[in-house]
Amino acid sequence: MKRKTNLFYTEGPDSKFLTFSNYTESLTGNFLSTDTKLYPSMFLCLNVNINNKKNFINNYLTGYYENKLAALRDYFIENDQKPEDYMSPLGYLLDTIKKFDPNFKITFVGDITEQDYNGTYTDTICTISFADVHTGEIVINEETNNQNNDDTITVEEYQTSLYGWKSNELNSNINPIFDKNNKYNIKSNTKTLKILKSNISEIKFNIVIPLFDVTNINYHTQHYINENNEINTSNESITIDLNNVTSNDLYRKYVPLGMWFADELITLKKDSNNIFSQSWSLLISSQFKPFPYSNASVNTINENSVSNAYPTFAMVLSRQNEILNKFNEISKQLKSQQKIISNIQRDLNKTPSVSLDKLNTKVIDIERNVNDKIDNLQNTMKEFMNNFIWNTSR
């Protein structure tokens, strides 16, 4: 059974962020593995002249990029070969964008911050700051178009329809795009991606592409990630060879997770006269259910669950505010009781003929009432503090 080319929404809120099949393929393949995990690695900001978003998504991201990925994955598996030994998802994506806009620019490259809530929620945060600016440049492989037949695959069966789909199965008319003559080049047209440290004072972008790595976290077993080629934005420049798939492990490293579209071109500026500058961040959230088609949906985080699932900075501040409010309530009630006692003392001084027995009884009743209220407040605070779990995430 053949794969089907991944399809995308082209309008509405679901078209703001498109998840590539790279992520779903890796997530499915490594879900049951205890040694391999998916980690966000870095992100690219691009300035692309998107004059027609629907055309870009349908004919380029779907018709070329996803169509090529599906065809190549099936091709290598059917020929008893591993896709990870030949395919370069990042290289193919840069090829795709280059086909659509030959003058596109990679205006920022940064690291990703991830917040994981016990596997239920995951926040992927891309932050752009002028504190450490890196940009990207691509180098085109001029020899790619002259690849021999060993470096190409032919997709004869799906010349006029998307790979794995029949023409009558699709509501919209999306035509496949090939590298040449119904063929796909196995090597990407983009030869290298250079990440360069920059001192620019303006960043413009309308697309954000987060990347992820598939990492072997068991140090007892063999690590297939090249430790000497890790991205480190403190370096002046780094070059990623997108044609050297085996040594750079490009099917598991620097893999495009998806693509986020801005409504309009975003411009960030740095004040040249002082140290102040603008910053910007994008938060991409994922929610996971126990089973894909189950009715149970996790809408809230259980405060009594594993510690890593609960505390965030905002939640801690919120709980601190609640504690302060409780203390304020206690203070008000104590002042009220003090006022009542003061009034009794004043009346006692003014009315010496008051029966001491009645007065004593009244004072005892008030004292009991005050003690009961204080005990209730103490129990409330004790219960509140027991529920307030302060844990440090790893």
For residue 384, pLDDT over 90 is answered with no
Rg (CA), the chain: 31
Bridge partners of 259? 18
Can you spell out the DSSP letters for 231-298?
Answer: --TTSSEEEEESS-HHHHTTTTSSEE-EEEEEEEEEEEEB-TTSS-B--EEEEEEEE--SSTT-S---
For residue 314, pLDDT over 80 is answered with no
321 and 295 fall within a common domain: no
261 and 331 fall within a common domain: no
Is residue 205 included in any domain, yes or no?
yes
d(CA 211, CA 225) in angstroms, rounded, equals: 15
Report the pLDDT averaged over residues 283-296.
62
Question: Residue 224: its pLDDT value, please?
Answer: 44
Residue type, 52: N
346 and 209 fall within a common domain: no
Confidence of residue 181 (pLDDT cuts 50, 70, 90): confident
Question: Residue 53: its pLDDT value, please?
Answer: 95
Assigned token pair, 324? 């302060």
325 and 218 fall within a common domain: no
Q: Domain of residue 377: give its range.
A: 313-387
Do 214 and 31 form a contact (C-beta atoms < 8 A)?
no
For residue 352, pLDDT over 70 is answered with no
260 and 322 fall within a common domain: no
d(CA 113, CA 126) in angstroms, rounded, equals: 7
Longest dimension (CA), the chain: 117
For residue 72, pLDDT over 90 is answered with yes
The pLDDT tens digits for 191-217 are 999 999 988 889 999 999 999 888 777
Report the pLDDT averaged over residues 330-357.
76
Question: Residue 220: its pLDDT value, please?
Answer: 59
> How many CA atoms does the CB half-sphere of 169 hold within 13 Å?
10
Is residue 221 included in any domain, yes or no?
yes
Question: Residue 223: its pLDDT value, please?
Answer: 46
Q: Is 107 exposed, middle or buried (0-12, 13-18, 19+ CB in 10 A)?
A: buried
Q: How many domains does the chain have?
A: 2
Highest mean pLDDT among 16-30, 83-97, 105-119, 246-260: 83-97
129 and 186 fall within a common domain: yes
Is the pLDDT higher at 207 or at 358? 207
Rounded to a whole number, what is the distance in angstroms from the first to the last CA of the chain? Answer: 43
The pLDDT tens digits for 37-54 are 777 889 999 999 999 999
The DSSP H or E segment spanning 137 is strand 134-140
Is residue 2 included in any domain, yes or no?
no
Question: Residue 63: its pLDDT value, please?
Answer: 95
d(CA 190, CA 322) in angstroms, rounded, equals: 55
Interstrand relation of 183-185 and 121-128 (parallel, antiparallel or unpaired): unpaired
Q: Helices H, strands E: what count in the chain?
A: 7, 13
Which of 152-156, 221-225, 318-322 bottoms out in mean pLDDT, i.e. has the lowest? 221-225
Q: How far is CA 23 from CA 38, 211, 384, 386, in A?
A: 9, 9, 42, 40
For residue 64, pLDDT over 90 is answered with yes
| % the chain with pLDDT above 70 | 75
| Residue at a domain's end among 299, 328, 347 | 299
329 and 212 fall within a common domain: no
d(CA 265, CA 387) in angstroms, rounded, equals: 46
Is residue 175 included in any domain, yes or no?
yes
Do 198 and 128 form a contact (C-beta atoms < 8 A)?
no
For residue 228, pLDDT over 50 is answered with no
Highest mean pLDDT among 62-76, 170-184, 242-256, 302-316: 62-76
347 and 294 fall within a common domain: no
Highest mean pLDDT among 161-165, 221-225, 234-238, 245-249: 161-165
Assigned token pair, 187? 């090597």
Confidence of residue 264 (pLDDT cuts 50, 70, 90): very high
188 and 337 fall within a common domain: no
For residue 386, pLDDT over 70 is answered with no
Confidence of residue 390 (pLDDT cuts 50, 70, 90): very low
Report the pLDDT averaged over residues 320-338.
83
- This prediction's pTM: 0.71
Interstrand relation of 255-256 and 202-216 (parallel, antiparallel or unpaired): antiparallel
For residue 347, pLDDT over 70 is answered with yes
Question: Residue 308: its pLDDT value, please?
Answer: 44
Report the pLDDT averaged over residues 286-307.
52
Assigned token pair, 162? 């998307």
Question: Residue 245: its pLDDT value, please?
Answer: 84
Is residue 394 included in any domain, yes or no?
no
| % the chain with pLDDT above 90 | 34
Q: How far is CA 356 from CA 141, 342, 360, 363, in A?
A: 104, 17, 6, 10
b/e sequence 156-168, b meaning 16+ C-beta within 10 Å = eebeebbbbbeee
| Residue at a domain's end among 299, 324, 358 | 299
158 and 245 fall within a common domain: yes
Is the pLDDT higher at 248 or at 103? 103
221 and 340 fall within a common domain: no
Is residue 393 included in any domain, yes or no?
no
Is residue 307 included in any domain, yes or no?
no
Is residue 304 included in any domain, yes or no?
no
| Residue at a domain's end among 231, 265, 299 | 299
For residue 56, pLDDT over 90 is answered with yes
Highest mean pLDDT among 54-63, 164-173, 238-247: 54-63
Reference 179, options 143, 149, 152; nearest CA is 152
SS3 call for 59: helix
Question: Residue 388: its pLDDT value, please?
Answer: 56
Report the pLDDT averaged over residues 346-375.
73
Residue type, 252: R
197 and 140 fall within a common domain: yes
